[in-house]
């Protein structure tokens, strides 16, 4: 049994979100596919465990597509990441979306592993896309903590079936 709950973002979460995104992603903004997002302005879900915020997913719905913009879990391996994805998938399906998708970078092998195990498939590699993102967000490092060059954007998707109840 899980000991955390999920709830939509409240206005009072915004300061925490700005800090979390800055800590984990270098600044308050996210730049993917040449688009600048400010997670404090996006809808999302917060995971709360023992009165502490321990996870966040933010997303952006456009037409029949829902993009996961950020996903962060502060209490690993107790199901928070999986639950946040499941919740956004439900929101997307209820909003009439046919596609749930996201961008991660080539170095993020943990995310590639995580998403593929949860039904996402790789649909495109946007080679050298991070070079363009760095022009808007110079904080993006050249290499990650493991020494892998941060270079390409990898697009993953899950096609949503309105009849699929999972």
Ligand X SMILES: CC(C)(COP(=O)(O)OP(=O)(O)OC[C@H]1O[C@@H](n2cnc3c(N)ncnc32)[C@H](O)[C@@H]1OP(=O)(O)O)[C@@H](O)C(=O)NCCC(=O)NCCS
136 DSSP assignment: H
The 43-72 contact track toward ligand X, x by CB under 6 A, reads: ---------------------------xxx
Cα Rg, the chain, nearest whole Å? 15
Helix (H) or strand (E) holding 82: helix 80-94
Judged by beta carbon, residue 14 or residue 24, the one nearer ligand X is: 24
Measure the CA–CA gap between 13 and 116, rounded to whole angstroms: 29
Helix, strand or coil for residue 79? coil
**Judged by CB under 6 A, which of 34, 35, 110, 128 binds ligand X?**
110
**Interface with ligand X: number of residues (CB under 6 A):** 17
Give the residue closest to ligand X by C-beta. Answer: 81
Helix, strand or coil for residue 104? strand
Judged by beta carbon, residue 90 or residue 162, the one nearer ligand X is: 90
Helix, strand or coil for residue 11? helix
**Judged by CB under 6 A, which of 13, 46, 59, 73 binds ligand X?**
73
Quick check: 81 binds ligand X (CB under 6 A)? Answer: yes
In total, the chain counts a number of residues equal to: 166
The binding site for ligand X (CB under 6 A) comprises 70-73, 76-82, 104, 108, 110-111, 114, 117
């Amino acid at each position: 049994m899980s000991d955390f709950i999920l709830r939509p973002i409240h206005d009072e979460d915004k300061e925490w979100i700005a800090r979390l995104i800055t800590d984990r992603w270098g600044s308050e903004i996210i730049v993917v596919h040449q688009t600048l997002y400010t997670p404090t302005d996006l809808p999302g879900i917060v995971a709360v465990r023992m009165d502490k915020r321990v996870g966040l997913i933010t997303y952006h719905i456009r037409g029949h597509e829902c993009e996961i913009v950020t996903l962060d879990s502060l209490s690993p391996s107790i199901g928070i990441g999986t639950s946040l994805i499941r919740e956004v998938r439900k929101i997307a399906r209820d909003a009439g979306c046919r596609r749930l998708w996201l961008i991660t970078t080539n170095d993020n092998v943990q995310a590639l592993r995580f998403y593929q195990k949860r039904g996402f498939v790789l649909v495109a590699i946007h080679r050298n896309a991070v070079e363009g993102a760095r022009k808007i967000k110079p904080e993006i490092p050249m290499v990650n903590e493991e020494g892998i060059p941060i270079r390409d954007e990898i697009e993953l998707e899950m096609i949503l079936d309105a009849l699929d109840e999972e």
